[in-house]
Amino acid sequence: MSLSLSLSMCFSSCSKDPHEANLLVRPHPKNPKRPQIVLLDHGLYRTLEESFRKDYTRLWQAMILADDRRIEEYSRRLNVGEFYTMLATVLTMKSWDHIVTQDSDK
């Protein structure tokens, strides 16, 4: 999940097939003591519009900060409308109550 988010938030690319069989972890060629993650199966990518990428990034920030007002705002900007709570639960795989309750166990 972290790698997929990095691709979309930093590089404006989104893998349409992000699962563990499309990742290879190996020793880094320049520093064998460190791992290198290699993405396999590059056939299903989409380049994200800059405005979408920024709104999607801000949505994740809002979910991390348990900011329900901003979760709704950025979900609506992504054309989710009234289903913003469902989007947040699908993306995080957590209940809405868990998302908007800030605690140290998140």
Average pLDDT over residues 71-96: 93
pLDDT tens string 45-56: 677 788 988 998
Structure tokens at 94: 């957590």
105 lies in some domain: no
Q: In the chain, pLDDT over 70 holds for what percent of residues? A: 74
Number of domains present in the structure of the chain: 2
| Catalytic residue from among 17, 55, 68, 105 | 17
What single letter denotes the amino acid at residue 28?
Answer: H
Predicted structure pTM score? 0.62
67 classed as catalytic? no
Residues 38 and 60 in one domain: no
106 lies in some domain: no
Q: What pLDDT score was predicted for residue 39?
A: 75
71 lies in some domain: yes
Buried b (16+ CB within 10 A) or exposed e, 10-40: eeebbbeebeeeeeeeeeeeeeeeeeeeeee
Q: How many CA atoms lie within 13 A of 106 on its CB side?
A: 16
87 lies in some domain: yes
Residues 60 and 43 in one domain: no
Residues 65 and 81 in one domain: yes
Mean pLDDT of the chain: 81
12 lies in some domain: yes
**Which residues form the domain of 7?**
2-47
Distance between CA 5 and CA 13 in Å, rounded? 9
Q: What pLDDT score was predicted for residue 21?
A: 77
